[in-house]
């Protein structure tokens, strides 16, 4: 089956949906999403969106905070673009119907919107705009509603992308031709309901597939976060960068029945304190900002405390605050914690770090363009230069909004240029010589092994020996997957395993390359930052296959 469209969007988070709505009046739009439209990283976002609205705040302060968090690797031009365009994107969301929390006390009449502004780690001012403690879900609710009502947008749920199609790889499966004028033509996509592989031909393709948290054993991400966009782009020949910078969120709920449940950084922003099992606060030993230090500092501090004590978790305590305030400010967190027998208004919450956000990704310019023509990347899939070595809290959603806006404008312009190359006729997916798998244990075993060795060897604290062990294992697993992949029919689990292994390999490769400690990458054998040799991006390109 073939599907032809002007704009193909892979992923249905805030980046993909925003792009879709902005290009929909200029051509046909197709959104492919691997599960339900609301099953995204965006929908899991609790804290909010960082943008300048407060009277004491300024663009310069937000820019400075972002640069400090990024530990010397942010692209200042990109930081300024995102920060200065943030308020306009927030107003646009409000006009669309997003319901952000308003301040209870009416502010001065000259202060627009009267938004309730929170504060999170690394921010010098209150600038976190939120919808209670479920900001991402509110964004998704409104954007999905607009998408479903737009006549030019078609949504394919339960469809998982397999690979991008480029001009040089558009022939039958397994064949490769080379060209110096390569460009993206669409993607092969598996319909999970029918097990049919469909050929999606597109004039412009956008990767908005979210993060890679499932490469680690413990993560705050939903199950869909397998690094699909990064893996597909790299296999197609796109440049990726900075994949050693994996952000571990300091505070995920530690409970045997809890899965991927994040305790928002906004809780610390409202005055919660991290304590050990004896009730002692410990963050003052690690940073002058204490509990409002940046995430990399807090995650390493917790990791150190756990290794020192041998305990399973530390605790986050907000019981000193008025109980009604806590219930009103964090209604979802309060309800979820209570379901696990924890009353956060009266007792501390057991927490541990977990893989949360990929700061690296597919390299793009300031318009979201990759180095493959007609292929764009936005959101967590992309490496724009905003985050550098460590993302400032709540900068992800504003980046997605600003870059989706910029990419949409550029994509429309690109489609209407005189030298734009239309997508040629594409072949259908070729399954000749394949059969149904009779060894699914290979998939499940390798999936589990990757996630475990990535957590143990390529986690919050790394060493050369740990990285070498991880590299030896990923080489073996990659060969097994490659041999298996071309002999059996694709399944969702096999597709995700292939992508997971590819991203794991790239993370390990980047981490082995960087011989210093900076931001989210900490190697005990190179404990200091080295600007003279390493104040640069870690850039990885696939070897030429011609």
Cα separation of 33 and 221, whole Å?
A: 16
The CA distance from 37 to 17, in Å, is 10
CA-CA distance, 11 to 374, in Å (whole number)?
A: 17
Calculate the dihedral angle through the C-alpha atoms of 380, 353, 269, 116, rounding to the nearest 10 degrees: 40
Helix, strand or coil, per DSSP, at residue 8:
strand
Give the orientation angle of helix 464-485 with respect to helix 492-513, to 10 degrees: 150
In this structure, the number of other CB atoms found within 10 A of the CB of residue 103 comes to 12
Q: Which of 164, 179, 273 is nearest to 228 (CA)?
A: 164
Burial label for 247, CB within 10 Å (0-12, 13-18, 19+), is: buried
Concerning whether 268 is annotated as a catalytic residue, the answer is no
Q: Where are the alpha helices (DSSP H) in 202-274?
A: 228-236, 265-269
Q: For residues 180 and 113, give the distance between their C-alpha atoms in angstroms, rounded to a whole number.
A: 51
Helix, coil or strand: residue 249: strand
Give every CB contact of residue 395 below 8 A, 6+ residues apart in sequence.
Answer: 50, 66, 82, 386, 387
Neighbours of 393 (CB within 10 A): 27
- Give the three-state DSSP class for 383: strand
> Which residues make beta-bridge pairs with 540?
240
Torsional class of 271: left (φ above 0), alpha (ψ -120 to 50), beta (otherwise): left
At residue 349, φ and ψ (nearest 5 deg) are -100, 125
Say if CB 306 and CB 274 are below 8 A apart: no
Sequence-ordered list of residues with C-beta below 8 angstroms from that of 384, at least 6 positions apart, any chain: 75, 78, 82, 364, 366, 368, 399, 403
Beta bridge partners of 439: none
Q: What is the DSSP letter of 29?
A: E
Q: What is the CA radius of gyration of the chain?
A: 23
Residue 207 buriedness (CB in 10 A; 0-12 / 13-18 / 19+): buried
Label residues 499-534 b or e (16+ Cβ within 10 Å = b): bbbbbbbbbbbbbbebebbbbbbbbeebeeeeeeeb
Cα 485 from Cα 501, distance rounded (Å): 12
Residue 487 contacts residue 435 (beta carbons within 8 Å):
yes
In the chain, DSSP finds a helix count (H) and a strand count (E) of: 15, 18
Which one is catalytic: 89, 295, 391, 466?
295
Active site residues: 295
């Amino acid at each position: 089956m073939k599907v032809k469209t002007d704009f193909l969007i892979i992923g249905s988070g805030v980046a993909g949906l925003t792009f879709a709505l902005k290009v929909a009046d200029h051509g046909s739009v197709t959104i492919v999403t691997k599960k339900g439209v609301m099953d995204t990283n965006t929908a899991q976002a609790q804290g909010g969106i960082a943008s300048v609205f407060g009277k004491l705040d300024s663009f310069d302060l937000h820019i400075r905070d972002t640069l400090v968090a990024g530990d010397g690797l942010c692209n200042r031009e990109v930081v300024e673009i995102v920060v200065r365009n943030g308020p306009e994107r927030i107003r646009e969301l409000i006009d669309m119907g997003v319901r952000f929390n308003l301040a209870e006390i009416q502010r001065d009449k000259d202060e627009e919107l009267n938004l309730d502004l929170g504060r999170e780690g690394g921010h010098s001012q209150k600038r976190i705009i939120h919808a209670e403690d479920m900001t991402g879900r509110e964004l998704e609710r409104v954007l999905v509603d607009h998408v479903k009502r737009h006549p030019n947008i078609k949504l394919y749920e339960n469809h998982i992308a397999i690979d991008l199609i480029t001009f040089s790889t558009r022939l039958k499966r397994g064949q490769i031709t080379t060209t110096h004028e390569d460009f993206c033509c669409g993607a092969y996509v598996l319909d999970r309901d029918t097990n049919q592989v469909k050929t999606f031909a597109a004039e412009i393709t956008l990767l908005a597939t979210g993060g890679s948290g499932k490469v680690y054993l413990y993560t705050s991400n939903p199950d869909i976060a397998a690094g699909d966009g990064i893996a597909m782009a790299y296999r197609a020949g796109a440049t990726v960068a900075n994949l050693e910078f994996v952000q571990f969120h300091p505070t995920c709920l530690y409970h045997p029945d809890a899965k991927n449940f994040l305790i928002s950084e906004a809780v610390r922003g409202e005055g919660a304190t991290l304590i050990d099992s004896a009730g002692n606060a410990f963050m003052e030993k690690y940073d002058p900002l204490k509990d409002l230090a940046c995430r990399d500092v807090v995650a390493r501090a917790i990791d150190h405390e756990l290794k020192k004590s041998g305990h399973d978790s530390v605790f986050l305590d907000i019981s000193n605050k008025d109980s009604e305030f806590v219930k009103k400010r964090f209604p979802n967190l309060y309800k979820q914690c209570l379901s696990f027998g924890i009353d956060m208004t009266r007792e501390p919450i057991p927490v541990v770090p977990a893989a949360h956000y990929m700061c690296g990704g597919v390299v793009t310019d300031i318009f979201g363009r990759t180095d493959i023509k007609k292929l764009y990347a936005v959101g967590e899939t992309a490496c724009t230069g905003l985050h550098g070595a460590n993302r400032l809290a709540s900068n992800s959603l504003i980046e997605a909004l600003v870059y989706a806006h910029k990419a949409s404008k550029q994509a429309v312009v690109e489609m209407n240029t005189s030298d734009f190359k239309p997508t040629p006729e594409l072949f259908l997916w070729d399954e000749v010589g394949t059969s149904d798998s009779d060894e699914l244990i290979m998939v499940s075993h390798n999936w589990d092994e990757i996630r475990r060795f990535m957590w143990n060897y390529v986690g919050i604290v790394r060493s050369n020996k740990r990285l070498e062990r991880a590299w030896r294992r990923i080489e073996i697993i990659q060969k097994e997957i490659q041999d298996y992949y071309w002999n059996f029919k694709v399944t969702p689990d096999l597709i995700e395993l292939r992508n997971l292994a590819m991203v794991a390999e790239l993370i390990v490769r980047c981490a082995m390359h960087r011989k210093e400690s900076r931001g989210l990458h900490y190697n005990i054998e190179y404990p200091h930052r080295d600007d003279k040799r390493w104040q640069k991006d870690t850039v990885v390109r696939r070897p030429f296959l011609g």
